[in-house]
């Protein structure tokens, strides 16, 4: 944006927020996990998995007991993400 446009639209410089010490949750992997869980008859709320650590671990533990190897692998991969974030002091 040019200086003239900044003045015209009243744009002001906004400092970027400091980065949070958390790795983003892999939404594609989470969507795949939800689909695999649905095949097993379990409903998964992805939004809740992002904010409720206990709920996420309950879902992952349930998946880990599945006979479906792909679901167990998906659960382990997501658990590693949550574990990595816990080491960084993240909320979820």
For the chain, what is the domain count?
1
> DSSP 3-state assignment of 76?
helix
Residue 53: inside a domain, yes or no?
Answer: yes
Q: What is the pLDDT of residues 66-89, one digit of tens each?
A: 999 999 999 999 998 887 766 655
Which residues fall within 8 angstroms of residue 79, CB to CB, at 6 or more apart? 57, 60, 64
Residue 58: inside a domain, yes or no?
Answer: yes
Q: What is the pLDDT of residues 30-76, one digit of tens each?
A: 999 999 999 999 999 999 998 888 999 999 999 999 999 999 999 99
86 sits in which H/E element: helix 69-87
Residue 91: inside a domain, yes or no?
Answer: yes
Domain of residue 74: give its range. Answer: 27-92
Residue 50: inside a domain, yes or no?
Answer: yes
DSSP-assigned letters across all residues of 14-52 = -PPPPPPS-PPP-HHHHHHHHHHHHHTT----HHHHHH-
Give this prediction's pTM. 0.68
Return the sign of the alpha-carbon dihedral for residues 65, 75, 51, 34.
Answer: negative
């Amino acid at each position: 944006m040019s200086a003239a446009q900044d003045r015209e639209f009243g744009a002001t410089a906004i400092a970027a927020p400091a980065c949070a010490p958390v790795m983003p949750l892999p939404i594609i992997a989470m969507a795949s996990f939800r689909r695999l869980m649905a095949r097993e008859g379990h409903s998964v709320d992805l939004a809740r998995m992002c904010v409720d650590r206990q709920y996420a671990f309950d879902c992952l533990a349930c998946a880990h007991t599945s006979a479906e190897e792909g679901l167990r692998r998906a659960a382990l991969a997501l658990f590693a993400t949550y574990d990595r974030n816990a080491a960084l002091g993240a909320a979820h």
